[in-house]
Amino acid sequence: MSDVISTEKKLSPAFKARWLEALRSGKYEQGRKMLKGPQGFCCLGVALDVIDSGQWMASGWGNRDDGYELPRYDMSDTSLLSRELGIDGPTCDKLACLNDGITEEERVDEEPARAPLTFAQIADWIEANL
Amino acid sequence: MADTDFVTIAKVVKTQGRIGEVATEIFTDFPEKFAERKKLFALLPDDSRRELELEDAWPHKGQMVLKFVGVDSISDAELLIGSEIQITKLWSALSVERERVDEIRNQANALRKTADKLDSINAALDCPIVEPQA
């Protein structure tokens, strides 16, 4: 884990390379709304998986107002992304929106207004912008 | 209200999940009571206080994860890191009283069950209940 953690609070080139490789690998199924869920990973979930692969485990179920029950996973500590990797909150939110195909204003909507970006397209965005 | 009118029951330590949840260190012996406390306050690191409405709460690895209405993103949640989650002292006092009432009610129920058992035993033995002499 230590080889991918930057102490300078910015996205380290080593971690960035591993994250992009993971996103482009085809190894991860892409899901929406959750870091990791029954349908697959969000791009931020892939980042957490790259940090510490294999540590995901369901830790319980939560009832939400919309009636859905969503599994919650132990590796859902998103502060790792900013604290250890230097990916700040607004950037995380931007990536989550790209992953889900929504704008920040549409964040709470159920259905995406446009086609979500694929992991490969998100990797291109990260490569160009982070 | 003055600062002394509030009681801190948790402290936000980090963001959790993707939709604005925060993980908190708990300072109360009754974390399950979070579900009953819809109106909470956050004492922010700059000493300002923000009223929050609790949407959901669940235990997670020794901490309590809280989701507040209107805190819907990781960046929203980041603003709460370091905050003390508080309730008013009045609510705290009412909760204590309610716990006492619940305890007394439980004891009364236990006594009632014991009395019912004694009645059944007496009936089975077919002997009259002897009232204690004054």
Task: Say if B44 falls within a structural domain.
Answer: yes
Asked, for residue B117, whether it belongs to a domain, the answer is: no
Asked whether the predicted pLDDT for residue A40 surpasses 70, the reply is yes
Cβ atoms of A60 and B58 within 8 Å: the answer is: yes
- List CB contacts (< 8 A) between A34 and chain B: 17-18
**Residue B132 scores a pLDDT above 60:** yes
B46 lies within 8 A of chain A by CB:
no
pLDDT band at A1 (very low <50, low <70, confident <90, very high): very low
Reported ipTM exceeds the 0.85 cut:
no
**Residue B103 in domain:** no
pLDDT > 90? residue B79: yes
Computed over every residue of chain A, the mean pLDDT equals 80
Lowest-pLDDT range of A4-13, A23-32, B100-109: A4-13
Model confidence at B1: pLDDT above 80:
no
Give the pLDDT of residue A11.
83
pLDDT for the residue B8: 94
- As a whole number of angstroms, the distance between CA A50 and CA A36 comes to 13
Say if residues A63 and A69 touch (Cβ distance below 8 Å): yes
Give dist(CA A58, CA A44) in Å, integer: 17
CB A34 within 8 A of CB A42: yes
Q: Is residue B119 part of a domain?
A: no
| Residue B133 is assigned to a structural domain of this protein | no
Say if B88 falls within a structural domain.
yes
pTM of the model: 0.73
Instruction: Give the E-state strand segments of chain B in sequence order.
Output: 6-16, 21-26, 39-43, 49-60, 63-68, 84-88
Tell whether B74 is within 8 A of chain A (Cβ): yes
Q: Please answer whether residues B3 and B48 qualify as being in contact, where contact means their C-beta atoms are separated by less than 8 angstroms.
A: no
- Interface-testing mutation among A63, A66, A93, A100, with chain B (most B C-beta atoms within 10 A): A93
Write out pLDDT tens, residues A63-108: 444 445 566 777 888 888 888 788 889 999 999 999 998 876 665 5
* Alpha-carbon span B111 to B119, nearest angstrom: 12
Question: Which residues in chain B have Cβ-Cβ distances shorter than 8 Å to A83?
Answer: 14
**Which residue range(s) make up the domain with B85?**
3-95
Q: Is residue B101 part of a domain?
A: no
Mean pLDDT on A109-130: 83
A:B CB pairs within 8 Å: 74
pLDDT confidence of B52, banded at 50, 70, 90?
very high
What CATH number does the domain containing B7 carry? 2.40.30.60
Establish if B102 belongs to a structural domain. Answer: no
B16 to A33: CB separation less than 8 angstroms, yes or no: no
Instruction: Output B70 or B94, whichever has higher pLDDT.
Output: B70
Q: What is the 3-state secondary structure (H, E, C) of A92-123?
A: HHHHHHHHHCCCHHHCCCCCCCCCCCCHHHHH
- The tally of domains found in chain B comes to 1
